[in-house]
Structure 1
Amino acid sequence: MFHTTLVNNHCAIHTCLERSTVGARPLVTWPHTATRAALEQLKLWQPVGRTLRVRFLDGTPVLQQKVATFAREWSNHANLHFAFGNEPDAEIRISFAQPGSWSFIGTDALAVPLDEPTMNFGWLTPGTPNDEVMRVVLHEF
C-alpha cells in the first residue's frame, strides 16, 4: 500500500505541474526511495531583495486592496518586495475572473503574455472573510 500511495502521489504531482507550468522544466524528482519536490534555482526571482511589480487586470478596489495588504506580509519574512501599480510589463498580473485560485511559480510568470494573468483569485469576493483571503493570498504569492 505504501508503494501505491507514493505512485499515486507522484502521478498527482506531475498532473498538477503539467497544468500549472508553461514550457517549464519539471520541479519534481523521483528518487528510488520517495517523491521529492525541489524548487529549481532558475525559478527564483533575482537578485535577492528584488521588488516585483504587480498589476491588477480586474477586480473590485476592495479585493485589490485586500490582496495587496496581505501580499506585503511576505516582505516581513522573505527578502522580496512588491510594488502595486498599473505598469503594463509588471511581472505579476492578477485577475479575479477565472475559476479557482492559482499562480505561476516564480519566474515561470515571465513566459506568460503581458495581457494575461499570472495569478488568479477567482472565488474571492468582497465578502470573503479576511482570514480566508489572507490564507489564499499568502499561499499564491
Structure 2
Amino acid sequence: MKLRFLSPTNHGIVDYAAAVALIGGPFILGLGSSNPAALWISVVTGITVIIVSIATRYRYGIFKLIPFGGHLALDLLVATAFMFVPYLFKLEGVDAAYFYINAVVVYLVVALTASETPEAHPGSSRF
C-alpha cells in the first residue's frame, strides 16, 4: 500500500470540504464558550482555504497561481498554527479540542497526499 495515496485532485476535494466544515462547524458545535475568537478563527481559516484552493495549481484551482507544493506548505503552516491557537487564545474544552483535532487531520492529509501527479513523470511507476 502506498503511503501517499491521496492525489492532488482528491486533495482539492478535501480542501473544499474542509473549508465548508471550518465555516459551518463552529456554529454547529457551539464554539466560542471559552473565547469567541475560537469561532471566528475557524470561519476566517475556512474562507482562506477557499481562496488558497482557488489560487492553487490543481484540478479544482481557478487561477492556478500557487504551486501544489506551496499549497502543501501552507497546509502545514495552518496545522501548526492550529496547535498554538488554544494556548494563544486560552481555549478550553471543545474549543481547544476542535483546533487540536483539526491540526491532526491537516497533518494527516498532507502526509497522505502525493506531491506530484503521475503525468509529471511519464513512464514512472512511482505514483
- Structure that is richer in helix per residue: 2
Q: TM-score range by the shorter chain?
A: under 0.3
Q: Which protein has the larger Cα radius of gyration, Structure 1 or Structure 2?
A: 1
- Structure that is richer in strand per residue: 1
- If asked which structure has higher relative contact order (CA below 8 Å, sep 6+), I would say 2
